[in-house]
Amino acid sequence: MNRYLGGKYDIIVVGGGHAGVEASLAAARLGMKTLLLSLSLDHIALMPCNPSVGGPAKGHVVREIDALGGQMGINADATQIQMRLLNTSKGPAVQALRAQSDKHEYRVRMAWTVQNQENLDVKQAAVEDLLIEGDHVAGVVCNNETMFLGRAVILTTGTYLRSRVIIGKLLTPAGPNNQPTAAKLSESLKDLGLELFRFKTGTPARVDRRSVDFSKTKEQPGSDAPLAFSYMTKRFDRPKVPCYSTYTNPRTHEIIRENLHLAPKYSGVIEGVGARYCPSIEDKVVRFADRDAHLLFLEPEGLYTNEIYVQGMSTGMPYEIQEKFMRTIAGLEHVKIMRPAYAIEYDGVVPTQLKPTLEYKAIGGLYGAGQINGTSGYEEAACQGLMAGINAALKLKEKEPLLLKRSDGYIGVLIDDLVNKGTNEPYRLFTSRAEYRLLLRNDNADLRLTEIGREIGLVDDERWRVFNERVEAIASVTEWLGQVKFSGRDAKVAAYLEEKGSAPVDGGISGTDLLKRPNIDIRDLAALDGKAGRWRDDDLKEREIEVKYEGYLRKQREQVARFEKTEGRRIPDDIDYGDVSGLRLEAAEKMAEIRPYTVGQASRISGVSPADISVLLVYLTERRGKDGEK
């Protein structure tokens, strides 16, 4: 059968999940003629697992996506049914936004966005093969014998590569929510010489709201404050829907233990490696045998559905066992399952085969983003899609790539971890993965990255105007704090200090110095000075953090400056690590395989020691001297 040429594009994106939509939007907005191919147009930006966006580190990433000009934050704000700022009792480095989303509305709104984006075509098709010319990708071949030519291809296949859904002994070749699976693309990638892995993940049951007795659970309301991921969001009148919490108990655990032989992991049905940080309920019962209870959250899936997501109860056990152990839980005694929980296995491509641009080293113009790279979560996928779309477009424009450092953002941390260390299980971001997390806060993502987004062309004029208004507002707060004086003879000031348990002031003290004291809130100082309402709370709080943590922030910035003296030291593309005298064989082999761009990246490769880096630095210095003599 002759192949039909469906069209020619600059960039083709394979997969319409969270990575795919960000990749295609970024490429199109940067002027590339772009094609988004999805297995199903009805499931673009589907949330197959939890109906939420954000959380520790993940919320930081959504803010960073927004700062660079991406879409996830805007869409999450527009469709949220509850939002909270988490970890408010802890330091600012770990505070993060988390939104419950109306998952149907989220998908519909994102699909509408991509379908109406200039330079972007959206089509339904299953890609089965890649067209390769020499060592460069040239397009894709679909299951209907249609081919599309492209100068770059971005693979964002999620958990659909040779995927199968598992419920007890029932094995179904399918993707999430029983969507079609991409069965043949895996073999094509293997034939191209790419190394694949097999991972496993899962999702809890969805239960009928009408069958839950919420009086036996604890309500978890959202915040009444005007919270948003995107600084472009101006409306905060969305409906607010509570979540609820409950717990498993010894009887729940007893039923699970009695039926472990029916759990896919323990029966030997599952081949893939599961996520350590998101274990199934049977894993929790086995691994934490000393615990009598595990926390569960009941999360509404939207405004116009009765489906409730049982967060914390992922499983692949048979339907009847799921129902049996669920009905031992307070509030779920008469629960009705609308969709059973399931495990899912899928293929991915080992991420150490990627450059930091997310382009495959062996195949020019071919990029990978999202769960195909071994990550878990919507947010991790979306940020990779954004970066792949940006870098594919920049390469075609013959411009320098965008490479975010670990000190620039969590996106930089994630990509650096993947391409240098790889992962032997589904990778999840945590604040603990970032060395400079006090610098990479939720509140300052726009201040860190919006100028970069503007420079590459993703931040439009309106975003740029709003950003500059914020910069000016923060500068105004800084100026006010330095100039204002609070007198200890002022009765209101004295009473406030006494209320806060703070020492009285002899004479006057600047706002900056007073704010450095524990328990002193910048909003209170503004009110004391008659400035209440002059600035937005988020502008005040950003300045407060910078003042209160000034010493710690200065030390981290000094650490970054010292580290970047070697971090950014470029390693020549043509280096032969076998020629580096004194370099251990293991280190030479690992660096030859990974081909790090910089000394900093080389230092984070598993199996490369500080002594190896010292040897490499000596070699690079000597080589630079010799090159300079030529």
pLDDT digits (tens, 9 = 90+) for 204-235: 999 999 999 999 999 999 999 999 999 999 99
pLDDT digits (tens, 9 = 90+) for 380-400: 999 999 999 999 999 999 999
Examine the pLDDT at 457 and tell me if it is beyond 90.
yes
Cβ contact 196:238 at 8 Å: no
- Average pLDDT of the chain is 94
Examine the pLDDT at 629 and tell me if it is beyond 60.
no
Q: How far is CA 450 from CA 74, 137, 227, 229, 444, in A?
A: 15, 32, 19, 14, 10
d(Cα 361, Cα 166) in Å, to the nearest integer? 34
- What is the residue whose two structure tokens read 């710690």? 552
pLDDT digits (tens, 9 = 90+) for 40-98: 999 999 999 999 999 999 999 999 999 999 999 999 999 999 999 999 999 999 999 99
d(Cα 486, Cα 488) in Å, to the nearest integer? 7
Q: How far is CA 584 from CA 199, 328, 578, 579, 623, in A?
A: 32, 58, 9, 11, 19
Examine the pLDDT at 630 and tell me if it is beyond 60.
no
pLDDT band at 1 (very low <50, low <70, confident <90, very high): low
H or E element that contains 297: strand 295-300
pLDDT digits (tens, 9 = 90+) for 140-158: 999 988 999 999 999 999 9
User: What's the whole-model pTM score?
Assistant: 0.93
Residue 507 is predicted with a pLDDT of: 85
Residue 279 is predicted with a pLDDT of: 87
HSE (side-chain half, CA atoms, 13 Å) at 583: 24
Tell me how crowded residue 295 is: count the other CB atoms within 10 A of its CB. 10
Q: Tell me what the mean pLDDT of segment 550-579 comes to.
A: 88
- Averaging pLDDT over each range in 280-284, 385-389, 490-494, which range is the top one? 385-389
- Can you list the domains of the chain with their CATH numbers? 4-447 (3.50.50.60), 474-554 (1.10.10.1800), 568-629 (1.10.150.570)
pLDDT digits (tens, 9 = 90+) for 155-169: 999 999 999 999 998
d(Cα 429, Cα 128) in Å, to the nearest integer? 31
Examine the pLDDT at 277 and tell me if it is beyond 90.
no
Q: How far is CA 91 from CA 95, 96, 424, 437, 590, in A?
A: 7, 11, 31, 11, 38
Cβ contact 368:351 at 8 Å: yes
Residue 628 is predicted with a pLDDT of: 59
Q: Could you tell me the two tokens for 21? A: 């939509």
Q: Which of 32-46, 116-130, 575-589 has the lowest mean pLDDT?
A: 575-589
pLDDT digits (tens, 9 = 90+) for 596-617: 888 888 888 888 888 888 899 8
